[in-house]
Amino acid sequence: MACLLAVMLLPEARPSYAQEVRFKTLRYEEDYSAIQPDSADFYSQVKHIPLGKKHSYLSLGGEVRYQYFWYKNPGWGSEPEDQDGFMLSRILTHADLHWGNHFRLFAQLQSSFAAGNTEPASPVDENPLDIHQLMMEADLYAKNNQRLFLRMGRQELSYGSQRLISVREGPNSRQSFDAARLIYDAKYLRADAFYANYVQGRKGIFDERFWDGSSQLWGTYVTLPQISSFPGVDLYYLGLSKKSVFADAVGRERRHSLGTRIWKEASGVSFDFEAVYQFGSISMSQIRAWTVSMDASYKPHMERLAPVFGIKSELISGDRTPGDRLLNTFNPLYPRGAYFGLASLIGPYNLTDVHPYVQWEVCRRITWSMDYDLFWRMGREDGLYAVNGALIHDGRGIKHKGIGKQLGTDVNFRPGRFLDFKVEFTWFDTGKFLRFAGLGKSIYMAGFTAAVKY
């Protein structure tokens, strides 16, 4: 009945451009060069505006997203109650200029607002207007299905499974970097070398600073794509320099991450394994940290509407001995915001996590998901951290590892190519660690998201 209602209420449009619209996480990766300039429909004309010169055109697009959230016992009872909940809104709009085959400019504005919060909103939730992306791209070599190009300016970065570098889609404001990137792209290899500065969000209008140097990121990322039955492989090195606060060290850290990811997407069994080792220094301490993560799923060889059964698990190192001038706390760098669900209660620091889940495409437009997450501290002598790295509790004097259990479910409704609706519920049952830390109340969260992309 729900599927029938979805089809009746908002039937998907099928104009001539439908097969050419492919929205991507990184909007600058979309390609509308194949749209014919003389297309009759208005939307195609907006996505491909000819500029006279051969292979030159302007493409316009954007996104509008509204979210409503309601929490009971926010902060496990440590934060003020809000009986009415709060609203978040975000507007993104961009222009993509292609001049010939070998040069382009991409610009994107972002505006985000928060309403109804019990406490002042951070720049992550409220940033009235800023230049989110402004970059140029120029080919240095393009021949025989090989391409070497330079991408320079303010831009979003996203690598692999977004465990370490992400666009941060979950929170209200997406994140970006001022970066210079040299990228080689061929059929069986993609290699990216870059140097970047993280863009610190501010709550004014056009007040984000360019290349301020407060948080620096550099590295190389190499991807060998999946070929037939062989899995894809990522190899990378990432360097970080920024001020950080951990339970056992505070100061400017210089951290190096060596990692690999092995992944495969298939109709039956899919998997994603990733391992990272970190070293460096912070204040007077040396850094030695690591993480291993896994995401494996199985979809029965049945009809298209078969459910997907999966399990995720992560081992994320925490500090072992306070005061020994050796920091073992893993730093996830710039991860995706909704790391363990839209509620975003815990960050990927000092953690052991087991996370079974099921996803079912109820019909072509509706998907239902449910997951059950169990959390423990990896190290008894380290604390509990939020998604943004803020220290929730330093963990001192508490030997219990059990943080809690989280049950989440959501229903995603996509009535058409441009619209997306999502309803989500989360229950977090506190464990012994949180109760001994004075954070003993269970959290309940309900959220609703409505988004349109164009």
If we measure between CA atoms, which residue out of 90, 107, 243, 66 comes closest to residue 174?
90
What is the pLDDT at residue 129?
Answer: 95
* Residue ranges with strand state E in 246-350: 250-264, 269-282, 285-298, 308-316, 326-327
Q: Give the largest CA-CA distance in the chain.
A: 71
In the three-class reduction of DSSP (H, G, I as helix; E, B as strand; rest coil), residue 7 is classed as helix
Q: What domains are defined for the chain?
A: 2-453 (2.40.160.100)
The size of the chain, in residues, is 454
What is the pLDDT at residue 7?
Answer: 38
Query: Residue 433: phi, psi to the nearest 5?
Result: -60, -50
With bands split at pLDDT 50, 70 and 90, how would you rate the model's confidence at 14? very low
From residue 25, alpha-carbon distances to 29, 162, 410 in Å are 8, 11, 20
- Average pLDDT of 112-135? 91
Mean pLDDT value across the chain: 90
From residue 66, alpha-carbon distances to 46, 170, 216, 387, 446 in Å are 24, 12, 32, 21, 14
What is the pLDDT at residue 423?
Answer: 97
Q: What confidence tens digit (pLDDT) does each residue in 239-275 have?
A: 999 999 999 999 999 999 999 999 998 878 999 999 9
- Among 129-133, 416-420, 448-452, where is mean pLDDT lowest? 416-420
What is the pLDDT at residue 40?
Answer: 61
If we measure between CA atoms, which residue out of 111, 101, 109, 25 comes closest to residue 60?
109
- Among 74-78, 96-100, 404-408, where is mean pLDDT lowest? 74-78
Cβ atoms of 352 and 316 closer than 8 Å: yes
Bridge partners (DSSP) listed for residue 143: 146
What is the pLDDT at residue 302?
Answer: 66
- Average pLDDT of 374-382? 95
Q: Which residue has the higher pLDDT, 423 or 54?
A: 423
What is the pLDDT at residue 208?
Answer: 85
